[in-house]
């Protein structure tokens, strides 16, 4: 399937559920306590991160999508920390505060990236269900997807009322379920249990087909539109009534910490659906996002540039031969990372040492180099009969194999001016005996503040000379 980055900025999502604070105490350990056989940690850093439904909302906002969060907290310092961090990340918060109850806090003591102990501060909330429903009702007209982030801590006590209310507003409902009674999610658009949660409800799955059969039965029983089972190292399985099962392999390069992976899946899924992606594409994006986040420590949000780069890697457009759409997406990511874009163009009919030296010097003008080459028809118009010697596909393949070159793209016009209008490189480079004002496209680049540079070719290297030499030998 072909994946692209959605327009997350037009994808508002509402998250309702159990808000938590994940607190980390970091420090070195150099000795064992004389009081008990436990390490002594000298705390040097305290870090607070939104957890639970807060982490889901944070992930949505990190992707660039507008995020609203409705939940329940105490009236304490932990609630203030949560609110500050979420507001700073662009998340709109509507918290129902319960006097005399602590905000759910999970304290982890860390040393050298290892968790030594976790301490939980929590009591089940006595949620005002009517007030929470009213808060949600006031926000549904502003969003395109509703997420129920259920950790079984008491914020969600009226699942059916929330689902029915969202359905009345035409808003799809995604639920990350908890517990062994999935009937409370009846009528949801999609639920996302992990394999152990799924098997706790339907029984052990002896095979992949057994999982599919039991999943389809659950969809029918609960009147769901779809079911997504996350299966750890086995990836994900998407089930829909009347459609074949979609199995996606795990994408993690290295598993460091699975904390919060489920939050990343449902947040990416929700934002992608809100942006208009099809369900299979949204699931594929969430699968890639999960592969990124489990390479991080603790609950962590992934950014849009991180996801975009992973999508490009998945689609083979991180480097190499690309089309216009792939190139523009790759450039958006490169610029998000502060990279300087260099552009050069030519026929590059027979790649020789002069070209290699020139392209290496061109690349040194920035961080990424685009080489645009004339297609076969335009080379023939420019160079005459018998050219090109090599087809555009072969020329692009050779260029893509050079270490100095990031992306290779072809164009059909005699000049690259139309492509320059789209790409808008930071530097336009041309080789040869030109003045800057003679470089084709210079005015376009200079108009938006870009630079134009002329580089010298390596002496005694010329495609035309090589062609003439070969033809001379053939005639002798």
Q: What would the mean pLDDT of 421-426 be, rounded to a whole number?
A: 96
**pLDDT score, position 228:** 96
CA–CA gap between residue 228 and residue 244 (Å, rounded)? 13
Yes or no: say if 118 and 108 are a contact pair by the CB < 8 Å rule.
yes
- What's the average model confidence in pLDDT over 403-419? 93
Mean pLDDT across the stretch 315-340? 79
Residues 6 or more apart in contact with residue 75 via CB below 8 angstroms: 97, 98, 99, 100
Determine the Cα–Cα distance for residues 208 and 202; give it in Å rounded to an integer.
Answer: 14
DSSP H helical segments within 294-391, as ranges?
304-315, 324-336, 353-363, 376-383
Confidence of residue 301 (pLDDT cuts 50, 70, 90): confident
In Å, what is the CA distance from 387 to each residue of 66, 119, 346, 348, 371? 53, 73, 13, 11, 19
Residue 310: the pLDDT is 78
Q: What mean pLDDT do residues 112-125 have?
A: 91
pLDDT digits (tens, 9 = 90+) for 438-467: 999 999 999 999 999 999 765 545 555 555
Q: What confidence tier does 126 reach under pLDDT thresholds 50, 70, 90?
A: confident
DSSP state of 8: G
Residue 70 and residue 93: Cα distance in Å, rounded?
Answer: 6
Active site residue: 18, 22, 176, 263, which one? 263
pLDDT surpassing 90 at residue 272? yes
Q: pLDDT class for 255, splitting at 50, 70, 90?
A: very low
Q: What value does the mean pLDDT take over residues 19-38?
A: 94
Q: Is the pLDDT of residue 142 over 70?
A: yes
pLDDT of residue 113: 85
| Burial tier of 329 (Cβ tally within 10 Å: 0-12, 13-18, 19+) | buried
Most trustworthy range by pLDDT among 176-185, 306-315, 462-471: 176-185
More confident site: 445 or 471: 445
Query: What's residue 258's pLDDT?
Result: 46
Rounded CA-CA distance 313/320 in Å is 11
What is the rounded end-to-end Cα distance, in angstroms, of the chain? 54
Most confident of 268-272, 297-301, 388-392: 268-272
Q: What is the mean pLDDT of residues 37-65?
A: 94
Give the residue ranges of DSSP H helices in 238-375. 261-274, 279-293, 304-315, 324-336, 353-363
Which pLDDT value is given to residue 317?
Answer: 54
Residue 267 near residue 305, CB atoms below 8 Å: no
- Quick check: 53 and 71 in contact, CB under 8 A? yes
CA distance 106 to 109: 10
Q: Is the pLDDT of residue 144 over 90?
A: yes
What angle is formed at CA 186 by the lines to CA 183 and CA 188, rounded to 5 degrees? 135
How confident is the model over 135-148, as a mean pLDDT?
96
- Residue 140 DSSP code: G
Helices (H) and strands (E) in the chain, counts: 16, 21
Whether the per-residue pLDDT at 23 is higher than 80: the answer is yes
Of the ranges 71-85, 172-186, 201-215, 328-342, which one carries the lowest mean pLDDT score? 328-342
What pLDDT, in 10s, does the model give residues 459-469?
A: 545 555 555 65
pLDDT of residue 200 exceeding 80, the answer is yes
| Predicted local confidence at residue 302, as pLDDT | 80
Distance CA 218, CA 341 (A): 51
**What is the percent of the chain with per-residue pLDDT over 90, rounded to a whole number?**
67
What are the start-end ranges of the H helices in 144-206? 159-168, 195-202
pLDDT at 259 over 60: no
Mean pLDDT within 5-33? 94
Distance CA 462, CA 445 (A): 27
Cα angle 260, 171, 124; round to 5: 45
pLDDT (0 to 100) of residue 463? 57
* pLDDT surpasses 90 at 370: yes
Residue 414 bears catalytic tag: no
pLDDT-based confidence at residue 253 (cuts at 50, 70, 90): very low
């Amino acid at each position: 399937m072909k994946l692209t980055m959605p327009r997350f900025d037009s994808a508002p999502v509402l998250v309702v559920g159990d808000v938590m604070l994940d607190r980390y105490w970091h420090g070195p350990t150099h000795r064992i306590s004389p009081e008990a056989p436990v390490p002594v940690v000298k705390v040097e850093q305290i870090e607070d991160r939104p957890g639970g439904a807060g982490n889901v909302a944070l992930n949505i906002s990190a992707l660039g999508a507008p995020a609203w969060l409705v939940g329940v907290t105490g009236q304490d310092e932990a609630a203030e920390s949560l609110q500050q961090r979420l507001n700073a990340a662009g998340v709109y918060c509507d918290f129902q505060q319960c006097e005399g109850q602590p905000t759910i806090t999970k304290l982890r003591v860390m040393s050298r990236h290892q968790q030594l102990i976790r301490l939980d501060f929590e009591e089940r909330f006595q949620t005002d269900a009517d007030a929470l429903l009213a808060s949600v009702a006031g926000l549904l007209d502003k969003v395109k997807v509703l997420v129920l982030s259920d950790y079984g801590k008491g914020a969600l006590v009226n699942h059916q009322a929330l689902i029915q209310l969202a359905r009345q507003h035409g808003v799809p409902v995604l639920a990350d379920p908890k517990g062994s009674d999935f009937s409370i999610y009846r009528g949801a658009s999609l639920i996302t249990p992990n394999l152990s949660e799924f098997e706790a409800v339907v029984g052990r799955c002896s095979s992949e087909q057994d999982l599919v059969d039991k999943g389809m039965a659950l969809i029918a029983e609960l009147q769901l539109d779809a079911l997504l089972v996350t299966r750890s190292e086995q990836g994900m399985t998407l089930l829909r009534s009347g459609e074949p099962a979609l199995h996606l392999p795990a994408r993690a390069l290295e598993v460091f910490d699975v904390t919060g992976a489920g939050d990343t899946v449902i947040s990416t899924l929700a934002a992608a659906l809100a942006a208009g992606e099809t369900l299979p594409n949204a699931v594929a994006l969430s699968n890639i996002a999960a592969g990124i986040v489990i390479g991080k420590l603790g609950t962590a949000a992934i950014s849009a540039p991180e996801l975009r780069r992973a999508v490009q890697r998945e689609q083979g457009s991180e480097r190499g031969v690309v089309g216009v759409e792939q190139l523009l997406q790759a450039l958006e990511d490169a610029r998000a990372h502060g990279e300087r874009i260099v552009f050069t163009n030519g026929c590059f009919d027979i790649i020789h040492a002069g070209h290699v030296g020139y392209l290496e010097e061109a690349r040194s003008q920035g961080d990424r180099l685009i080489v645009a080459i004339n297609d076969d028809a335009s080379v023939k118009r420019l160079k005459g009969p018998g050219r090109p010697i090599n087809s555009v596909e072969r020329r692009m393949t050779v260029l893509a194999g050079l270490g100095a070159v990031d992306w290779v793209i072809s164009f059909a016009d005699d000049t690259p001016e139309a492509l320059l209008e789209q790409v808008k490189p930071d530097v336009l480079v041309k080789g040869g005996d030109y003045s800057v004002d003679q470089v084709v496209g210079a005015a376009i680049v200079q108009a938006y503040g870009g630079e134009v540079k002329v580089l010298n070719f390596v002496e005694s290297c010329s495609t035309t000379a090589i062609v003439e030499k070969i033809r001379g030998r053939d005639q002798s």
